[in-house]
Structure 1
Amino acid sequence: MKLLTTCVAAAALIGFSFAAQAETRVTYKSAKTSSSYYQMAVQIAEAMKEASNGDIIVTVEESQGSVQNVMEAAVRPGNYVFTTPPVLVKLAKDGKAMFEKRANPKFGEIRALFPIPSLTMHFVVGEDAGIESFADLKGKKILIGKGSFGAKEGAKYLKLFGLEGQVELADVELSNAVPALKNGQIDGFVTAGSYPAPNVIEAAAGTGVNVLSLSDEQIAKTKRTKLVIPAGTYAGQEADITTTSLPVVAYATTQMDDETAYAMTKNFWDHKAKMGKGAAWWDGVNADLLSNISGKIHPGALNFYEEAGFPVSDSQR
């Protein structure tokens, strides 16, 4: 009996050992817990666990921003995945801008996995505000917020389009934009996030809004990526909205093995439609967004894209 008990215990230990070896752990550095990008990270973690039958366990970590995410890529070991706009990865590799004094050769080991919803600019105005174009913003009261990407872009666009000093900027927190619009305190607000944006959905349903489109000439001035929000995305939206975006991508480093990178990329695309049922922002992600990736794609992810027939450029290989 003792021998039998010992053998059973040994077998259980061996089984546990194999299970532990089979389990792959990934750290996913995302954004602030209050952001939609943190919610996306949680969805991805759940999708990876389900798709791999528990073999891939993703732990989501809060981040203070994309620059921090890129900086940690130089020091984090193993399966470190993080999200950031591709432009920051390029700046890090080139040692420019905010990375000029923090250059590190390990930035050259960053590799892309898959795109996630882009930061999409929304210029939202009340449907009764008499605003049909950017020129109509003159003399109006607009909320652009403070400190965020959307606030900085909003201020930049007003300057680019000759409206600096001609638009009254409301001193209201962006979190209060919808009630402020409803109460007539402002004529519109600027927000940036994955579409459909929750605050725009709320405003469209409760107040009635228009989201301004940018012309190709205006988009060229912004030097951002063109993005089309399909008609019907928001209540009362009868036509497509042409706007700008800042692409966002999930990255790993060369420390991640090809098998794990392949599995994560395949699981992401296989479960994207299911994730879209829980959050519509995934519906805006498609194979065309791969073109926004500057630099190299991880060889493991590349194996999946080649199998699936996704468009990949020579410079990304």
Structure 2
Amino acid sequence: MSKGRRIRASVAVAAAGALALSACTPPEEADGPGNEADDTQFLRLATGSTGGTYYPLGGEIAQLWGEHIEGVQVDTFPTGASVQNLRALEGETEDEEEGQIDQVELIMSVNGVAMQAKESVGPFEDQPLEDPDDVFFLGNIYPEVMQVVVLADSDIESIGDLDGANVEIGPAGSGTEVAARDILDVYGIDADEDINTFDSDFGDAATALGDEQVDAAFGILSVPAAGIEEISANNDVRLLPIEGEEAEELQEVDESYDLMDVEGGTYSGQDEDVTTLTQWASLYSTGSLDDETAYELTRVMYEHADELGHAVGDQVQLDTALDAQGPMELHPGAQQFYEDEGVL
């Protein structure tokens, strides 16, 4: 049995406006009347692919900021997720729908990928950030669970059985791709030589799996994951376990990993608990974000998390906000909030 957390699947309906760009309001007096439009501070939040969790959840969080903070407008947009988002903090990036974006102040990222950026390793070894010390941690959002899904009638029983298979490993530069390559490696599989890799976002990957165009799909996702639920509506599915010596090896080299059991019954066809790896979806910014704004963004995200309609809304919790922080430095504004709340 896993030494980590257990999460029971819950059902919630995402708010109708979750995917819309959100307009928010400034951080001096929360929950008060708005200021003049000319005083509004405009920020952008880089999320993830439209088929994942980051984009809709990021939209809902931005809506919370709009309802409970004065003078800040936060717009969200879809991206390739973690690696791209961390690079976006330093310069231009691409919005999947709008094209070039010149400035990003807030990002969502897997905590392990942020740690790699800080230490200039992994996908940042050859192309490090110009100033890795200027990535500041605001807090954890929800557990990011690595879910490797196959159809229930597949002969594939473990990660090691993927040798020679057609496998969706996530979009290039995403946290899913980074973790998938690491996981495959500890099971003795070279992602570039031993399997046929595909790099779809999880929405398309789920469709490909359901249509039997691929044999397995990796996804760092919330629990339950909407994409997996959609597959299991027509095809029973199973999650492949990540445990034992391989999991221990991954934990030794990456402090962001923990173990978690996805309970049996979470998806149709998955009858038993499955142990897998989890990290955190976290919120980051740079030192240029003023302390007062950082304080209010952090405060509202936790104080009003119960207003989130997304299925992972109840996993946005103050008592796990600083779990697996690792080497990432807290933004001074966020740190003040945690000190005021007695968390630090």
Do these two structures clear the TM 0.5 threshold for a shared fold by scoring above it? yes
Change (3 A) 1:89 1:142: closer
Q: What's the secondary structure of 1:120's corresponding residue?
A: strand
Whether 1:157 and 2:161 are equivalent positions in the alignment is no
Gapped regions of structure 1 (runs ≥ 5): 1-15, 313-317
Q: What is the CA deviation profile of residues 103-146 of structure 1, one whole-angstrom value per residue up to 9, with x for unaligned ones?
A: 534x42332112123543212222233555446x3788553356
Q: What's the secondary structure of 2:241's corresponding residue?
A: coil
Whether 1:244 and 2:260 are equivalent positions in the alignment is no
Change (3 A) 1:104 1:21: same
Contact in 1 for aligned 2:35/2:71 (Cα 8 Å): no
Whether 1:58 and 2:74 are equivalent positions in the alignment is yes
What amino acid does structure 1 have at the position aligned with 2:285? Answer: A
Whether 1:212 and 2:240 are equivalent positions in the alignment is yes
Contact in 2 for aligned 1:78/1:255 (Cα 8 Å): no
Q: How does 1:1-317 map to 2 (within 5 A)?
A: 19-20=36-37, 23-33=40-50, 35-52=52-69, 54-74=70-90, 80-94=105-119, 98=124, 104-105=130-131, 107-129=132-154, 131-134=156-159, 137=161, 141-145=165-169, 147-148=171-172, 149=174, 150-151=176-177, 153-154=179-180, 156-162=182-188, 169=196, 177-178=205-206, 181-182=209-210, 188-223=216-251, 225-231=257-263, 232-235=265-268, 237-275=270-308, 278-286=309-317, 287-288=319-320, 290-294=322-326, 295-310=328-343, 312=344
Structure 1 CA distance for aligned equivalents of residues 194 and 47 of structure 2: 34
Contact in 2 for aligned 1:25/1:57 (Cα 8 Å): yes
Contact in 1 for aligned 2:34/2:71 (Cα 8 Å): no
Q: What is the CA deviation profile of residues 247-298 of structure 1, one whole-angstrom value per residue up to 9, with x for unaligned ones?
A: 33211222223221121111101222221xx221334444335222232212
Contact in 1 for aligned 2:51/2:203 (Cα 8 Å): no
Structure 1 CA distance for aligned equivalents of residues 199 and 35 of structure 2: 56
Q: What is the CA deviation profile of residues 31-79 of structure 1, one whole-angstrom value per residue up to 9, with x for unaligned ones?
A: 3455432222211111111122x53321224444434433343469999
Q: What's the secondary structure of 1:28's corresponding residue?
A: strand
What amino acid does structure 1 have at the position aligned with 2:168? Answer: I
Contact in 2 for aligned 1:31/1:38 (Cα 8 Å): yes
Contact in 2 for aligned 1:142/1:167 (Cα 8 Å): no
Taking only the aligned residue pairs, the percentage that are identical comes to 24
Q: What is the CA deviation profile of residues 147-169 of structure 1, one whole-angstrom value per residue up to 9, with x for unaligned ones?
A: 54445644543442246699875
Structure 2 CA distance for aligned equivalents of residues 180 and 78 of structure 1: 34
Change (3 A) 1:67 1:131: closer
For CA contacts below 8 A with separation 6 or more, give which structure has more relative contact order: 2
Structure 2 CA distance for aligned equivalents of residues 143 and 93 of structure 1: 29
Contact in 2 for aligned 1:140/1:187 (Cα 8 Å): no
The answer to which structure has the higher helix fraction is: 1
Instruction: Identify the range of structure 1 (175-184 vs 301-310) with the bigger mean alpha-carbon deviation.
Output: 175-184
The structure number with the bigger radius of gyration is 1
What amino acid does structure 2 have at the position aligned with 1:161? Answer: Y
What is the aligned length? Answer: 291
Structure 1 CA distance for aligned equivalents of residues 35 and 209 of structure 2: 58
TM-score normalized with structure 2 length: 0.67
Instruction: Identify the range of structure 1 (280-289 vs 137-146) with the bigger mean alpha-carbon deviation.
Output: 137-146
Q: What's the secondary structure of 1:279's corresponding residue?
A: coil
TM-score normalized with structure 1 length: 0.72
Q: What's the secondary structure of 2:36's corresponding residue?
A: helix
CA RMSD for the aligned pairs?
A: 3.9
